[in-house]
Amino acid sequence: MSLTQERKQELISQYQVHETDTGSGEVQVAMLTDRINRLSKHLQVNKKDHSSRRGLLKMIGQRKRLLSYIQSGDRERYKTLIQSLGIRG
């Protein structure tokens, strides 16, 4: 369920704030969203995988906290991020 190195680099280059950015809130939210989407597909097939469901809920909570942090700092960055990721809509 983890991200491949190529996919991770793709997400970083797409959502980075500046040239050497690898861990800003936007990048972290993008990586979490990708992992959440993959895990959701896995859980649709494997309905009884409760440990993965717990991990999914933890990732959703982490993403929610990061999004509220971004929203408190700059509402425009928050709006563009959720629009580009296709969440909360």
* Full residue range of the structural domain in which residue 20 is found: 5-85
| Confidence at residue 88, expressed as pLDDT on a 0 to 100 scale | 79
| Confidence at residue 1, expressed as pLDDT on a 0 to 100 scale | 61
Flag whether pLDDT at 39 surpasses 70. yes
Please count the structural domains in the chain.
1
Cα Dmax for the chain: 42
Taking the mean position of all CA atoms in its chain, how far away is CA 5?
16
* CATH code of the domain covering residue 29: 1.10.287.10
pTM listed for this prediction: 0.91
